[in-house]
Amino acid sequence: MTRHSDMSVRNRSKEFPLIRTRKLGRLYRTGEQVVTALKDVSFDINEGEFVAIMGPSGSGKSTLMNLLGTLDLPTSGDYFLDGENVADIAADELADLRNRTIGFVFQQFNLLPRMRALAQVTLPLTYARRRSGNLKEKARKQLALVGLEDRADHLPSQLSGGQQQRVAIARALINSPKLILADEPTGALDTATSKDLMRLFQRLNGAGITIILVTHDAEIAAYAQRKIVFRDGRIVTNKNQRNSRLLKVS
Amino acid sequence: MRLLDTILLAISALRMNFLRSILTTLGIIIGVASVILMVAVAEGARSEVEKRISSLGSNLLQLRPGSNRIRGRSVGADSRLPFSEGDVSDIRKKVPSVTAISGHFRRNGTIVYRNTDWLTNIDGVHSEYLQVRDWAVEIGRFFGEREYQAGAKVAVIGTTVARELFDDENSIGISMRIGDTPFEIIGVLEHKGATPSGRDQDDVILVPLSTLRSRLVKRHKLVPDQVGYVSVKIDETEDLSEAKEDIEFILRKRRGIKNSKSDNFYVRDVSAYQFAKTETQQTFSFLLAATAIISLIVGGIGIMNIMLVSVTERTREIGLRMAVGARRSDIRTQFLVEAVVLCLIGGIIGTVLGIGGAMAIALGANWPVLISPEVLALALAAAALTGISFGFFPAQRAARLNPIEALRSE
Ligand SMILES: Nc1ncnc2c1ncn2[C@@H]1O[C@H](COP(=O)(O)OP(=O)(O)O)[C@@H](O)[C@H]1O
Ligand SMILES: [Mg+2]
């Protein structure tokens, strides 16, 4: 039996969680210096979870998010996404996998400066290998879902920070991904806007999307079901939160 | 990503830096314009030469007394020995590929009809002259071999003479005088127009060379049966150089030239002689070709430079595209298409300028404007090829970016 069919059997049996890391490590070599950004990180995240990742600056949170998003590869250990070891997947297939399965939300929004909101949202669709229906119509619906139906023709410079982040979320959602990876999505927003955004994430999680969110802010982390805390590249806490705002709402 | 989407993306990216994009394509513009000019000039010159040859008649050999090698210098007393009736009839008889042959002896003379007179060229020719020149009579007829042998006083006039002397009224059968001798007009030639050098070929009267010799030229000036220059038309299907050798052999024998001695006449292939005249045009074409290639290379380096700038400016965009699912090949294609579109824009502008320049040159040189669809395709293909060649390195650099570093860049 080949390795590939072996894994598809595992997939079907739901033995594997959406995300599984085992002794994951990432070293950075800059000249003589070696920085251990992550060391022996092992955890599982099931489909439908809402997980907050916390820790001081430089503790390896962004490094982990890059690995989970398949934008980077670990220097040691294994990362299984949907039952498949990412190290075994070819670069082009990883690109397709990101396109179908993962939506990214960044602290700095990462919108293209001279592109209107509707086109920003359409962008991932243009890289989809299989295309269906009217792209613009789909993007318009997605914008409506984040409450920006009347901002479709606006440039990023004509939108507030919160609105820009909503456009970015609409872009992340357009291919109906299983997983949203958000690295400090509220880092550039004020408190009220942050709370609005967290309610949006809650709603998406309620619809079944797995969300992993990095934050410094305990208030923000309180929206998640589970909190994983990092220090110096290692997990120091990994536990469910009884008093999660998510649980209170639902 | 679909190709059409990629092209539209490239156009919108270029529009954001409109002025920069246009300035960058300057080299391409000059290169493509040169390509078009070069081909138009070459084609124009060629058609000009072909026109000249066909106005002389095609598949033609011209016989001249004197040495081809020592031009202008007479070598010995008989070095300018003219051709005779015997030479003409011998060649006609012994070289089967000859379809027509004629001597051509020209003098100026005044023709008089009633109280009008007109100074024109009086050409003594043989009865096959019109076949040699690919010419024909419009009205009436030409003189035949019998009239030639008899030295008949008949004339065929060109259209200029017909207009000047007879106001284009019917002149067939009319008698007029050349000098003191009366001639009967038996035909009017087809209109032939001016030579490229501007001489009016229709300002002429054709008479039998035999008659010209006996009636119009003072005896002492002529060897008794001199025929002037001789033109020979060779069958289209036959080998011109073979016919040339046959004629040379006959003439050497008739003139008693031994094998070791050099000829005192020469036979020249009119088309070869005419093509040699286009050397200047070839030099011009070569210069334009060099300009085209250098401009395209310089233009290509400009394109490469601006594309590298563009990749640097849009590093973050590239990182984002990779994050949302662009393959490396998608990124490479995006920048390659952008370079090609940029070059094609330059190519189109260059094409317009090139066509304008070709028209100006054609107007100045009095050529037809010759720009074929193939040339336009060639010019645009050259532009596109430049885009692909010089866009590849920047596109490759974009495709190889690390997505994380790209996303973090400013
Ligand atoms: N590209 C890199 N090259 C070298 N060191 C890096 C690189 N990226 C991150 N690091 C280092 O790895 C550690 C973890 O960084 P990061 O994951 O960005 O932390 P966080 O997001 O938690 O602030 C830090 O010490 C940082 O300096
Ligand atoms: Mg970080």
Q: Are A223 and A211 in contact (CB under 8 A)?
A: no
Spans of chain A, pLDDT less than 50:
1-13, 248-250
Residues of A in contact with B322 (CB under 8 A): 71, 95
Q: How far is CA B168 from CA B120, B178, B181, in A?
A: 17, 19, 23
Ion ligand 2: residues, CB < 5 A: A 62
Q: How far is CA B283 from CA B273, B287, B289, B361, B367, in A?
A: 17, 6, 10, 16, 18
Residue B254, classified by CB atoms within 10 Å of its CB into exposed (0-12), middle (13-18) or buried (19+), is middle
CA B267 – CA B249 distance, rounded (Å): 11
pLDDT higher than 80, residue B70: no
Share of chain B residues as helix, strand and coil, in percent rounded to the nearest 5: 55, 20, 25
In degrees rounded to 5, what are phi and psi of residue B376? -60, -45
Report pLDDT digits (tens) over A19-60: 999 999 999 998 899 999 999 999 999 999 999 999 999 999
ipTM of the complex: 0.91
Closest ligand 1 atom to A57 CA: 23
Residues of A in contact with B327 (CB under 8 A): 91-92, 95-96, 127
**Are B321 and B215 in a shared domain?**
no
**Are B301 and B383 in a shared domain?**
yes
Nearest Cα residue in chain A from B320 = A110
Q: For chain A, how many helices (H) and strands (E)?
A: 9, 10
Contact assignment for A127 to B326 by CB distance below 8 Å: yes
pLDDT higher than 90, residue B342: yes
Domain boundary among B241, B269, B297: B269
Q: How many CB atoms lie under 10 A from the CB of residue B139?
A: 16
Q: Are B36 and B354 in contact (CB under 8 A)?
A: yes
**Are B124 and B232 in a shared domain?**
yes
**Are B402 and B290 in a shared domain?**
yes
Residues of B in contact with A69 (CB under 8 A): 323
Q: Tell whether B409 is within 8 A of chain A (Cβ).
A: no
> Which stretches does DSSP call E strand in A108-246?
179-183, 210-214, 226-231, 234-240
pLDDT at position B269 is 81
**Are B218 and B290 in a shared domain?**
no
Domain boundary among B269, B287, B309: B269
**Are B306 and B239 in a shared domain?**
no
Domain A47-72+95-248 belongs to what topology?
A: Rossmann fold (3.40.50)
Domain holding B324, by residue range, is 3-52+275-408
Q: Are B260 and B249 in contact (CB under 8 A)?
A: no
* Residues near B1 by beta carbon (within 8 Å), at least 6 away in sequence: A126, A127, B326, B330, B333, B334
Report pLDDT digits (tens) over A77-98: 999 999 999 999 999 999 999 9
Domain count of the fold of chain B: 2
Nearest to A72 among B320, B324, B404 (CB): B404
Give me the residue label for tokens 């396109």. Answer: A99
**Are B140 and B258 in a shared domain?**
yes
Nearest to A98 among B317, B319, B325 (CB): B325
- Of the pLDDT bands very low, low, confident and very high (cuts 50, 70, 90), residue B257 is confident
Which pTM was predicted?
0.70
Nearest ligand, CA of residue A107?
2
CA A71 – CA A25 distance, rounded (Å): 15
- The residue type at A118: L
pLDDT at position A239 is 85
